[in-house]
Amino acid sequence: MKFFRQWAGVIASLILAGSGFLVSFGKEAHYFGLILGCVGLVAAAWQAWQVKKEMGDPYDLNKLWDSPLPEDIQPEAADYEPDQAYCHRCGHIVPDDFARCPDCGEPVR
């Protein structure tokens, strides 16, 4: 859904350009249709440039510094104690006696 919201201006501009060029094929208002089509194409190019600028480079590693670092990388359970094992697959905390998680079967030690 976000994709369509970002590109709505480009789509509207292309519709404007298409309708302008369609009008230019008629005998009347030939120049008006050409002007409307050219304005639509310029608006579509400008809108596409704005969307591209907003999206940015998906492989830019400098964006890693923009987000705050997580304060706590320990499991989220409040009753976590060091003598317990944490299942990284399903997120359950099990006693250290278990070699596998009782819920998903993943090895916890």
Query: Which residue spans within 1-99 are E strands per DSSP?
Result: 84-86, 93-95
In this prediction, residues 14-31 reach a mean pLDDT of: 85
Long-range Cβ contacts of 35-40 (<8 Å, 24+ apart):
40/13, 40/14, 40/15, 40/16
In this prediction, residues 62-68 reach a mean pLDDT of: 71
More confident residue, 44 or 64: 44
- Residue 55's pLDDT is 79
CA distance linking residue 67 with residue 36, whole number of Å: 43
In this prediction, residues 57-83 reach a mean pLDDT of: 64
- Residue 14's pLDDT is 92
pLDDT exceeds cutoff 90 at 67: no
